[in-house]
Amino acid sequence: MARLRTAIIFLLQSATVGLAAAFVVVYLFPGLVQSGRNPAGAGPSSYSDAVSVAAPAVVNLVSTVRSGGGRDGGISAVESLGSGVIMDDEGYVITNDHVIDGVASIQVFLTDGRASSAAVVGTDPDTDLALLKIDLDDLPKIPLGRSDTLRVGDVVLAIGNPFSIGQTVTQGIVSGTRRGQLGLSPFENFIQTDAAINLGNSGGALVNASGQLVGINTAFFSRRLDSEGIGFAIPVNLVRGVMEDLISHGRVVRGWLGVATETLTPDQAEALGLDEGFGIILTRVQSGSPADRAGLRPTDVITYIDETPVVVWQDALRLIARMEPGTRVVLTGKRLGQEFTVEAEVAERPSPGGG
């Protein structure tokens, strides 16, 4: 009997010590307990709330394509499918320029079953964006996010109408930002994602985990290179600027100097005696352009635009493009080893194909 009593007391003492130790661990290291239920960094099990916020504003575009193949030599009723995004309650719809290029008419179909013909407000082939206008009441509009705060690894959802099968949502992450040098447009600053972007998704929405628009999907790169798992979207910050210009002017007004440039490598900069170690070299100066009138020549090296260092040619292009025509800009650089400074008056960038 004494042995049994001793064993019971021992077990009770062990249990008490164990509970006390567990209390200390929970008190001092609460993350260890929480990680068992909800691992650190784990996302939600569903993104249906984000989809319900964004999806109603993503529309299907059906176009009649111009064709000279028929006996009437006019319009052929060929459907060209793509996507678009309703940006506000006034009926402005953003899409890709290549989706509507060459079409005779455009019908916009909403997820609630309504449809409307669309007028083209303006296009911007330089960014592959186009703005449409529809006339319907009580329109859903997509909430706008910010593309400049996106981080690699952020969850994103691509919403569109691929392969004529109906609205589809795919999920992925931001694989990269500020992607350029893809040869798709002069003003490349793409968001790269592994969310599936297929034929028909062009012009659709790339949204964050809250359902806010962060980009407009484009399938160009994936189709051209027949690549798997790589999609690109035009950042919403760029989209907003283009949309504002198209509403105000019917076109995008950009600054222009009339030069072709290349980025200098560090070795080239050193060989040219550039103390800064960076710069862009002019490979062509268009006759009669602002750069030509300012006295710039091929092989000139530009290191600063006003007081902004010029490290890569894409940044220089975007910097000048943001300037209003008529703006006077100071260019600093080197010519044959000698530093120079010139002043040029920015002109309006010619439209593509307009010289």
Residue 270, SS3 per DSSP:
helix
Distance CA 172, CA 49 (A): 16
Quote the domain boundaries for residue 315.
Answer: 255-348
Are the C-beta atoms of residues 312 and 322 closer than 8 Å to each other? no
Q: Are residues 268 and 240 in the same domain?
A: no
Q: Are residues 173 and 126 in the same domain?
A: no
What pTM did the predictor assign?
0.75
227 phi/psi in degrees, rounded to 5: -95, 155
Q: Which residues are identified as catalytic?
A: 98, 128, 202
Q: Which of 133, 168, 200 is the last residue of a domain?
A: 133
Distance CA 255, CA 276 (A): 26
Identify the pLDDT of residue 11: 44
Closest by CA to 53, choosing from 169, 160, 212, is 212
**The token pair that represents 190 in the structure block:** 């793409």
The b/e string for 37-55 (b: 16+ C-beta within 10 A; e otherwise) is eeeeeeeeeebeebbebbb
Q: Are residues 118 and 93 in the same domain?
A: yes
Q: Are residues 241 and 313 in the same domain?
A: no
Are the C-beta atoms of residues 117 and 14 closer than 8 Å to each other? no
Q: Provide the 8-state DSSP code for 350.
A: P
Q: Which of 231, 249, 267 is the last residue of a domain?
A: 249
Q: Indicate whether 27 belongs to any domain.
A: no
Q: Indicate whether 147 belongs to any domain.
A: no
Identify the pLDDT of residue 207: 97
Are the C-beta atoms of residues 214 and 206 closer than 8 Å to each other? yes
Q: Are residues 197 and 267 in the same domain?
A: no
Identify the pLDDT of residue 266: 82
Segments of the chain scoring below 50 in pLDDT: 4, 7-8, 10-12, 19, 24-26, 32-38, 40, 222-227, 354-355
Number of domains in the chain: 3
